[in-house]
Structure 1
Amino acid sequence: MSTPQTSSHAPLAPHQTTLVPLTSRTPFGFLRWLLLNILAALQRLDLSLNPSHTFVKLRRHRWSFKNDYPYLIMAFFASISLFVMDASPLFKLLIPLGYLIITTVPFLGQFFFPGTPVLAWVITFFCARYVPTEWRPDVHVALLPTLESVLYGANISDILTRFTHPVLDVIAWLPYGIIHFVIPFVVAAVAFVFGPRGSINYWGKVFGYMNLTGVVVQIVFPCSAPWYELIHGLSPANYSMAGSAGGLSRIDAIFHSHGYTETFSTAPLVFGAFPSLHSGCATLEALFLSHFFPRFRIAYWMYCCVLYWATMYLTHHYLIDVVGGGCLATFFFYYLMPAELREWETGGVGRFEEYDLLDRESTSFCFHLHPPSLVARGSFLHVRLASDP
Structure 2
Amino acid sequence: MSLLKLLPLLPVLVVVLAAATGRLRALGALLRHCHAVLLNDKSHARWLAGLLSGILPPVVWTLSFKMARRLPDEWRPTIHTKLLPQLEAALLSFQGVLLFTVALVPLALLLRARSATRSPLAYLVLLFPAWLKVLNYVALNTTWDAFQDVLAWIFYGCLHFASPFLMGWWAWAWCPPGAAIAFGWCLGLQNFTGLCIHLLFPNAAPWYADTYPPTVIPDYSFPGSAAGLVRFDKVFGSHLYTHAFAASPVVFGALPSLHAATATCLSFFVARYGGTWGLVFALVYCSGMFWSTQYEHHHYAIDLVAGTALSAAYFALIAHFVLRRIDAKHERERSTRGIDRLFCRPSPWASAYSQLPAHVLGEDEEVGVPHLLFSKESSDWDLELVKQRPALRTMLSPVDEKDDYEPSSGPSSRSGSTSGASSSSGRTGRSGSFTSGSEA
| TM bucket, shorter chain | 0.5 to 0.7
Name the counterpart of 1:372: none
Deviations 1:285-308 (CA, angstroms, capped at 9, x unpaired): 010111122242202320111111
Equivalent position SS for 2:44: coil
1:300 equivalenced with 2:282 (yes/no): yes
* 1:227 equivalent in alignment to 2:207: yes
Taking a change above 3 Å as real, the CA distance of residues 381 and 329 of structure 1, as seen in their structure-2 partners, is: farther
1:121-132 alignment to 2 at 5 Å? 121-132=61-72
Give 1:120's match in structure 2, choosing from 35, 49, 60. Answer: 60
How has the CA–CA distance of structure 1 residues 46 and 249 changed in structure 2, closer, same or farther, with 3 Å as cutoff? same
SS at match of 2:253: coil
Asked if 1:40 is matched to 2:20, the reply is no
1:197-234: per-residue Cα shift (whole Å, max 9, x none)?
A: 22122111111101100111111110000000111143
CA contact under 8 A between 2:265 and 2:312: conserved in structure 1?
yes
Q: Which has the larger radius of gyration?
A: 2
1:256 to 225, 230, 237: 237
**Paired position in structure 1 for 2:193:** 213
Which residue number in structure 2 is paired with residue 286 of structure 1? 267
Moved over 4 A (4+): 35-39, 154-159, 342-347, 350-355, 380-385
Q: Is the 8 A contact 1:37 1:194 kept in 2?
A: no
CA distance in structure 1 between the partners assigned to 2:283 and 2:389 by the alignment:
31
Q: Mapping of 1:55-74 within 5 angstroms?
A: none
Distance in 2 between residues matched to 1:152 and 1:109, nearest whole Å: 46
1:275 is the counterpart of 2:272: no
Q: List per-residue Cα deviations over 1:330-369 (Å, max 9, x = no partner).
A: 110111221313656569xx978959x9xxx99xxxxxxx
In the TM superposition, residue 109 of structure 1 has moved relative to its aligned partner by 2.7
Alpha-carbon shift at residue 131 of structure 1 (Å): 0.8
**Closer, same or farther: CA 41–194 of 1 in aligned 2, 3 Å:** farther
| 1:310 corresponds to which of 289, 292, 295 | 292
The 10-residue stretch of structure 1 (163-172 or 194-203) with the greater mean CA deviation from structure 2: 194-203
Indicate if the aligned counterparts of 1:38 and 1:193 stay in contact, CA closer than 8 A: no
Where relative contact order (Cα < 8 A, 6+ residues apart) is larger, the structure is: 1
Residue equivalent to 2:152: 172
What is the distance in 1 between the residues matched to 2:35 and 2:268?
24
Q: Aligned letter for 2:167?
A: V
Length, aligned pairs only: 282
Letter in 1 for 2:72: P
Q: For structure 1, which segment, 323-332 or 195-204, has the greater mean C-alpha deviation from structure 2 after superposition?
A: 195-204
Cα deviations across residues 167-208 of structure 1 (Å, max 9, x unaligned)? 111111101111111111111112223321221221111111
Letter in 2 for 1:161: L
Amino acid at match of 1:142: K
Q: For 1:176 and 1:107, how far apart are their aligned partners in 2? A: 33
After TM superposition, the score normalised by the length of structure 1 is: 0.64
Decide which of 321, 341, 353 is 2:326's aligned counterpart. 341
- RMSD between superposed Cα atoms in Å: 3.4
Instruction: Calculate percent identity across the aligned residue pairs.
Output: 32
Asked if structure 1 preserves the Cα contact closer than 8 Å seen for 2:265 and 2:311, the reply is: yes
Alpha-carbon distance in structure 2 between the residues aligned to 1:132 and 1:316: 25
Structure 1 residues 246 and 332: CA distance shift in structure 2, 3 A: same
For 2:388 and 2:257, locate their aligned partners in 1 and report how far apart those are by CA, in whole Å: 40
1:381 shift after superposition: 6.2
Paired residues of 1:219 and 1:272 also in contact (CA < 8 A)? yes
Q: Is the 8 Å Cα contact of residues 37 and 381 (structure 1) preserved in structure 2?
A: no
1:238 pairs, out of 210, 216, 219, with 219
Inter-CA distance 146–273: structure 2 relative to 1 (3 Å threshold): same
C-alpha contact (below 8 Å) 2:177/2:330 kept by paired residues: no
Cα displacement string for residues 3-45 of structure 1 (whole angstroms, at most 9, x for unaligned residues): xxxxxxxxxxxxxxxxxxxxxxxxxxxxx99x96874233344
Distance of 1:329 and 1:134 partners within structure 2: 31
Give the counterpart letter for 1:192 in structure 2: W
CA contact (8 A) 1:144 1:223 kept: yes
Hey, what's the Cα distance between the residues in 1 that align with 2:34 and 2:399? Answer: 15
C-alpha change, 1:277 and 1:47, in structure 2 (3 Å) is: same
> Cα gap change, 1:314/1:344 in structure 2, threshold over 3 Å: closer, same or farther?
farther
**Aligned partner of 2:325: which letter?**
E
The alignment status of 1:319 with 2:301, answered yes or no, reads: yes
**Aligned partners of 1:342 and 1:142: how far apart in 2?**
46
- Corresponding residue of 1:89: none
CA contact (8 A) 2:187 2:262 kept: yes
Instruction: Write the letter of the residue equivalent to 1:216.
Output: C
Unaligned runs of 5+ in 1: 1-31, 49-105, 363-374
Q: Counterpart in 2 of 1:12? A: none
Cα distance change on mapping 1:111 and 1:124 into 2, 3 Å: same
| 2:228 equivalent to 1:247 | yes
